[in-house]
Amino acid sequence: MSKKVLKGGEFLVKETDYKDVFIPEEYSEEQRMIAKSTSDFIAKDVRPFVERLDEHEEGLLRKMMEQAGELGLLGISIPEEYNGFGHNYVTSGYVAEQVAAGFCFSVAFSAHTGIATLPILYYGTEEQKQKYVSKLATGEYIGAYCLTEPGAGSDANSGKTKAIPTADGKHYIVNGQKMWITNGGIADVHIVFAKIEDDANLSAFIIERKWDGVVVNTEEKKMGIKGSSTTQIFYNDVKVPAENLLGVRGDGFKIALFILNIGRAKLASAVVGGCKSITTSAVNYANERKQFGKLISTFPAIQFKLAEQVIKTFAAESATVRTLQATDDAMQMYMEQGMDKKKASLEGIRQYGIEASILKVFASEALDYIVDEAVQIYGGMGYSAETDVERSYRDARINRIFEGTNEINRMVIVGELLKRAMKGELNLLQPAMEVAKELVGIPDFGNPLTDYYEVKHDLLKRFKKSILMVAGGAMQKLGAGLQEEQELLFNLADLIINTYVAESFVLRVQKLESMKGSEAVVLYKDMLDVFVYDAAWENYKTGVDAINSFAEGDEKRGMMMGIKRFTKVDDLNIKDARRRIAKKLVEDNKYSF
| Active-site residue set | 403
Q: What is the C-alpha separation between 434 and 429, in angstroms, rounded?
A: 9
Residue of 456, 317, 334 whose CA lies nearest to 21: 317
Distance of CA 37 to the CA centre of its chain: 23
Q: What is the C-alpha separation between 327 and 320, in angstroms, rounded?
A: 11
Q: What is the C-alpha separation between 418 and 395, in angstroms, rounded?
A: 34
79, with CB counted inside 10 A (0-12, 13-18, 19+), is middle
**Whether the Cβ atoms of residue 262 and residue 112 lie closer than 8 Å to each other:** no
Number of Cβ within 10 Å of residue 305's Cβ equals 22
Distance of CA 77 to the CA centre of its chain: 17
Phi/psi at 165 (5° precision) = -65, 145
Residues 6+ apart with CB under 8 A from 458: 449
**Whether the Cβ atoms of residue 150 and residue 83 lie closer than 8 Å to each other:** no
**Whether the Cβ atoms of residue 202 and residue 245 lie closer than 8 Å to each other:** no
Number of Cβ within 10 Å of residue 477's Cβ equals 13
**Whether the Cβ atoms of residue 360 and residue 409 lie closer than 8 Å to each other:** yes
